[in-house]
């Protein structure tokens, strides 16, 4: 009887061992995707970055300045309007350290921002611009500002 009890206990532990690694593998796969923005964080270099995909994948462009039209050359982004799915703020702190992203070119329409302590938004689909539009694939210009009333996360 004692051997039967030991066998059942060993079987239970073996079954638990098969279940736990599968759950851990799923958690680490999810964590790896959401941490990619952390992995590529360049430190404070004065630039804003935009990515075609979530979790900071597929670089659309980057710049230290403002860009009134993400579709035209000359401002850091070219042919990038309505394509960003994640953004990163590596600007210097103090002064104009918040990036304000706009729905339309020339800094107009709805907007959403990343402050200096937010660092990045890994999935713009979870955010809404001030005009009610989804932030995902809806950015056409950006400007460095000192504050903002619609911070994205």
Spatial separation of the C-alpha atoms in residues 136 and 127, rounded to whole Å: 7
Q: Is 94 exposed, middle or buried (0-12, 13-18, 19+ CB in 10 A)?
A: exposed
Better-scored residue on pLDDT, 16 or 46: 46
pLDDT of residue 75: 86
CATH level 2 (architecture), domain 40-145? Sandwich (2.60)
Q: Is 134 exposed, middle or buried (0-12, 13-18, 19+ CB in 10 A)?
A: middle
Mean predicted confidence (pLDDT) in 10-34: 41
**Which of the four pLDDT bands, split at 50, 70 and 90, describes residue 37?**
very high
What pTM was computed for the model? 0.79
Q: Which residues pair with 132 in a beta bridge?
A: none
Spatial separation of the C-alpha atoms in residues 49 and 61, rounded to whole Å: 6
DSSP state of 34: H
> Collapsing DSSP states into helix, strand and coil, what is residue 37?
helix
């Amino acid at each position: 009887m004692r051997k039967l009890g030991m066998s059942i206990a060993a079987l239970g532990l073996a079954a638990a061992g098969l279940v736990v690694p599968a759950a851990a593998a799923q958690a680490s796969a999810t964590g790896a995707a959401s941490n990619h923005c952390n992995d590529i964080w360049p430190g404070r270099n004065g630039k804003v970055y935009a990515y075609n995909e979530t979790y900071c994948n597929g670089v659309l462009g980057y710049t230290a300045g403002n860009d009134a039209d993400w579709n035209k050359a000359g401002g850091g982004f070219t042919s990038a309007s309505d394509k960003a799915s994640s953004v990163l703020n590596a600007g210097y702190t103090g002064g104009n350290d918040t990036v304000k992203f706009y729905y339309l070119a020339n800094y107009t329409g709805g907007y959403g921002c990343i402050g200096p302590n937010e660092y990045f938004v890994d999935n713009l689909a979870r955010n809404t611009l001030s005009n009610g539009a989804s932030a995902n694939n809806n950015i056409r210009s950006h400007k460095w500002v000192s504050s903002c009333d619609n911070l994205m996360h």
